[in-house]
Amino acid sequence: MEWNPETLQNLSQCFLHTLSPIPEPRRAAERFLSEAADLPNYGLVVLRLIAEPSVEEQTRHAAAVNFKNHLRSRWLPSADSGVSPITPSEKEQIKTLIVSLMLSSSPRIQSQLSEALAVIGKHDFPRNWPALLPELVSSLQKAALAGDYAAVNGILGTANSIFKNFRHQYRTDELFLDIKYCLEIFAPPLQEIFVKTDSLIDSAVSSGGSAANLKPLFESQKLCCRIFFSLNFQDLPEFFEDNMEKWMGVFKKCLSSNYPALESTEDGLTLVDDLRAAVCENINLYMEKYEEEFQKFLEGFASAVWTLLRDVSKSPSRDQLATTAIKFLTTVSTSAHHALFAGENVIKEICQSIVIPNVSLRDEDEELFEMNYIEFIRRDMEGSDVDTRRRIACELLKGLATNYKGQVTEVVSHEIQKLLSSFSSNPAVQWKDKDCAIYLVVSLATKKAGGASVSTDLIDVQSFFASIILPELQSHDVNSFPMLKAGSLKFLTMFRSHLPKPFAMQLFPELVRFLKAESNVVHSYAASCIEKLLLVKEEGGRSRYVAGDISPFLLQLMTNLFDALKFPESEENQYIMKCIMRVLGVAEISGEVAGPCIGGLTSVLSEVCKNPKNPTFNHYIFESVAVLVRRACERDISLISAFETSLFPSLQMILANDIAEFLPYAFQLLAQLVELNRPPLSPNYMQIFLLLLSPESWKRSGNVPALVRLLQAFLQKAPHEVTQENRLSQVLGIFEKLVAAPSTDEQGFYVLNTVIEYLAYGAIAPYMTGVWSALFTRLQNKKTIKFQKSLVVFMSLFLVKHGHAHLVDTMNTVQPNIFTTIVQQFWIPNVKLIMGSVEVKLTAVAATRLICETPDLLHPAASKIWGAMLDSIVTLVSRPEQERAVEEPEMPDVLENVGYTAAFVSLHNAGRREADPLPDIRDPKQFVVASLARLSAASPGRYPQIIGENLEKANQAALLQLCSAYNSIIV
């Protein structure tokens, strides 16, 4: 693309049109720019346009945004992106121009170009852009000398974006060389500007400087702090260790000084708080990583942070400062310098002046509770990534309890009693004090390792429950004081295993009632509490609550759960749907319960099909349907037709509308329904079977496991229909495609094994040469441990189902005598790798039958092969799995994905029940030695010699032991 007045005019017009509210000119402009982006020098031309003063500011800003996105997609595009990369010569010219242009631009354009520069830096800095840092330093020094803080902050902002890449990278020699290079060039001027700006702030504050003068200076100090964090993150650099006094002196001043001109306005206070939060992150980093070097400054900082926290208001705009400051104190509390908190009344003062104020409910918490229940629950119950003041304050108490547990317990218990007394004096007004008390108890409870059980030293759980929690749960009005109700439900959920069963059973009807609460949080917590209660286990691992316990109120419970999904904003409430799934998994499902439940679930399903939004909710719907079908049909198989009538419209809608997220679920449910049917299957199912055979259905990798599951169900329930009209040929075509790729070969074996298990030999015989050819080709071209184990299992299954003669004959049609080669070179070394009780039994029995029944192996010439196979069999049945296991290297997914690929998620409740192909044989070890004893009795004296010559000494001893254990003799 050439730079000329015409290009300037056309591009300017296009960028202006991209801002148009009218769709037609906007889309035309976007199309033109998308095509132009493929032309050489496009990025350079756009950069020239951004520099053109005659072009309007908003057009240049649109061009700067486009330029930044152009670099993101084309500076170093991925191989499969399909876009052409920027040429090396254009890259060099862009790198030459961008810094000076960024510094001379207006703030809006400067921020876009700074981000664009960071994109280049991520790929090229420092090795392929050695000129960048010297240019930034030179510009920084000129701007500082001129007092141009707009330019200073532009440069520091750019440096901050680039150096951020040093955080959280793997520690390599290459990384440390890069950091060393940056430190040598950038650390001295960074310190210079940091110290100079600090003295400018001092002068401005003492002379009563205005907020307008102070703001750019504070912005500059904040950026210096963020760069300091990045350069110090991986290791303590010598430069900063040598200059620690300077940096820490300014840091402490930031935390301890007042800045009235800024702190009098909301945005000025935010700027001061942002700087202080950045300082707190820096001293926390030093406390965590460089404690020894930092210790002489520690006491002063602990005092400054503590004082600061006492003055930080509850305003949400100050949350960042409060959480970073409390984090610092928490780090100190668990360090070797925890003695700072050992003084008399220190813990009491921290609790009263820092913890309680930050745990107490604020107006913002109430607003979140009412307006965004999902975010409230995420923060309150699930511990989201967001550091809330409430959680971080409790973390400080936990940190203090590491070394001062007795004092913390005493102080917090006393505070809890004070809060509860305050509540009792005026419940309607002081209800937040009770909420604070409950929150402290729940948050400071200790989870026992490896279980759901929790404990607390703050209270006696049962008496606290009876006096504080129970009144809330027995309140007639489920809608009064909803935050207290939510806190009480959370308490019950947390301490569920502490409550005796008879007592908890009396509470179940109350929990069912709370599902009718209007508050989304309250009915979500009620559902979650019921769901978690049903998971409680007794000592021996038995479930504490069983079907009979919930039978008396089951219908009311299910009614209230489905009604709760009708509340505004709870239409896709995952806590309610998870509770429905759990209840159906425990309850006794009669026809009276099944009818309304399937009606409710299909009604919800048809709604979400219109616009699937919440993957977790959707998963629980399908699990709920699967568990309902399974549990109801276990009790009464005649219900299957009612389920089909209800479910088919929804499943057909998913298939017809190609709802990609739901297809794997639909196939798994269909498989479950097919398996529950008695042959012959209805025409509805057979239509789906024909759809299943179409190659188009198998193109999305996310569908493959579910399609295989469904295909297995048809092979099992409709073997006669499968063998009609060339359908078996199509099924085996699917097997062949799947087994050819390492990512799907296991699925291919599932299909093949089911064919062998359920179809008569006469039907499969014509295809066996092709099957063996496909398997041997894959074995030759790309064998993996997973494939080898699957092939051993398949050959074993074929032998036990259709006999050794068919196995030998069909293999040898591929190539004469290939059977002996496969046994010798493949079967013998791999049989010992098999894992899993059913698989071990199958392969041990098959290999034993092979050496006891196959003429080829019983011939004297095959004695060595016979002995080697027996050696592998003894290894298989006598050694533990961990001794035989071989690590499988990670296999990349090489399946070609076409279009949208949803990840496959297995439905636990629609899982296939694996059949044991040898139900009559209970103990494979007994089968092995009994078969050998029978064989040796027919040729006395022959086999002990072969065993002595071919079995490892350890296996000879193991075989002798097995013979003795099962009273068998090899003669």
Closest-CA residue to 521 (of 711, 357, 375): 375
Task: With beta carbons less than 8 A apart as the criterion, state whether 353 and 308 touch.
Answer: no
Assigned token pair, 6: 């015409």
Contact 894, 693 (CB under 8 A): no
Name residue 23's amino acid: P
80-84, 107-111, 561-565: least confidently modelled range: 80-84
Is residue 414 over pLDDT 90?
yes
Average pLDDT over all residues of the chain: 92
Q: Which residue has the tokens 């495609």?
A: 737
Choice among 105-109, 452-456, 509-513, 886-890 with the minimum mean pLDDT? 886-890
**Position with higher pLDDT, 791 vs 910:** 791
Question: Would you state the pLDDT for residue 891?
Answer: 34
Based on the number of CB atoms within 10 Å of its own CB, is 46 exposed (0-12), middle (13-18) or buried (19 or more)? buried
Residue at 799: amino acid letter: L
**What percentage of the chain has pLDDT greater than the value 70?**
97
Helix, strand or coil, per DSSP, at residue 351: helix
CA separation, residue 203 to residues 25, 198, 218, 269 (Å): 54, 9, 13, 19
Amino acid at 965: A
Q: What's the mean pLDDT in 900-912?
A: 68
Cα gap 870→950, rounded to integer Å: 9
Domain residue extents for the chain: 1-106, 125-287, 296-436, 775-884+920-970
pLDDT on residue 449? 58
Predicted confidence (pLDDT) per residue in 488-514, tens digit: 999 999 999 998 999 999 999 999 999
User: What local confidence, expressed as pLDDT, does residue 383 receive?
Assistant: 62
Contact 545, 501 (CB under 8 A): yes
Are the C-beta atoms of residues 98 and 120 closer than 8 Å to each other? yes
Average pLDDT over residues 845-853: 96
386 pLDDT exceeds 70? Answer: no
Q: By the 8 A CB rule, do 894 and 818 touch?
A: no
The stretches of 718-744 forming alpha helices (DSSP H) are 719-722, 727-740
pLDDT of residue 892: 34
Please give the distance of CA 535 from its chain centroid, rounded to a whole number: 23
Cα three-residue angle 798-802-807, rounded to 5 degrees:
60
What is the mean predicted confidence (pLDDT) over 273-289? Answer: 97
Contacts of 590 (CB under 8 A, 6+ apart): 635, 636
Q: Give percent of the chain with pLDDT exceeding 90.
A: 84
Q: Predicted confidence band at 606 (pLDDT cuts at 50, 70, 90)?
A: very high
Q: Please report how the helices 745-758 and 704-717 are oriented relative to each other, as an axis angle in degrees rounded to 10.
A: 0
Tell me the per-residue pLDDT of 327-378, one tens digit each, with 9 for 90 and over. 999 999 999 999 999 988 899 999 999 999 999 999 999 999 999 999 999 9
Range 380-386 average pLDDT: 66
The per-residue pLDDT for 385 is 53
Query: What integer pLDDT is reported at residue 913 of this predicted model?
Result: 76
353: tokens are: 């002046």
d(CA 726, CA 970): 49
Tokens of 195: 């110290």
Residue position matching structure tokens 């070097």:
293
What was the pLDDT predicted at 899?
Answer: 30
3 band by pLDDT with thresholds 50, 70 and 90: confident
- 405/474 Cα distance (integer angstroms): 34
φ, ψ of residue 537 to 5 degrees: the values are -110, 150
Q: What is the pLDDT of residue 16?
A: 93
| Helix/strand/coil for 288 | helix
Q: How many helices (H) and strands (E) does the chain have?
A: 51, 2
Nearest to 596 by CA among 548, 559, 568: 559
User: What average pLDDT does range 617-624 have in this prediction?
Assistant: 97
Judge whether residue 914 has pLDDT over 90.
Answer: no
The two structure tokens encoding residue 57: 């500011």
Q: What is the tens place of the pLDDT at every residue in 722-733?
A: 998 889 999 999
- Above 60 in pLDDT, residue 895? no
Look at residue 384 in the predicted model and tell me its pLDDT: 54
User: What pLDDT score does 451 carry?
Assistant: 56
pLDDT at 169: 87
What mean pLDDT comes out for the span 910-931?
90
What pLDDT, on a 0 to 100 scale, did the predictor assign at position 317?
Answer: 84
Closest CA to 399 of 461, 337, 455, 356: 337
Mean pLDDT over residues 27-33, rounded? 93
Phi and psi dihedrals of 894, rounded to 5?
A: -100, 5
- pLDDT above 80 for 903: no
Predicted confidence (pLDDT) per residue in 39-62, tens digit:
999 999 999 999 999 999 999 999
Q: How many CB atoms lie within 10 A of CB 139?
A: 20
Q: Comparing 36 with 452, which gets the higher pLDDT?
A: 36
Token pair for residue 168? 């959280």
Nearest Cα residue to 159 out of 182, 191, 181: 182
pLDDT for residue 452? 61
Residues 760-806 have pLDDT tens digits of 999 999 999 999 999 999 999 888 999 999 999 999 999 999 999 99
pLDDT of residue 901: 36
771 with 752: CB under 8 angstroms?
yes
First to last CA, the chain: 91
Hey, is 447 helix, strand or coil?
strand
Q: What confidence score (pLDDT) does residue 896 get?
A: 31
pTM score, whole prediction:
0.82
- Please report where in the chains the tokens 């900063």 appear, as a residue: 240
- Give yes or no for residue 521 having a pLDDT over 70: yes
Asked if the model's pLDDT at residue 894 lies above 70, the reply is: no
Helices 663-676 and 640-656, interaxial angle, to 10°? Answer: 150
Measured CA to CA, the distance from residue 855 to residue 877 in angstroms comes to 24
Residues whose CB is less than 8 angstroms from the CB of residue 239 and which lie 6 or more positions away in sequence, other chains included: 183, 187, 188, 191
Average pLDDT rounded to a whole number, residues 938-967: 94
Residue 897's pLDDT is: 31
Strand partners, 447: 454
Residue 97: CB atoms within 10 Å: 15
pLDDT in the model for residue 898: 29
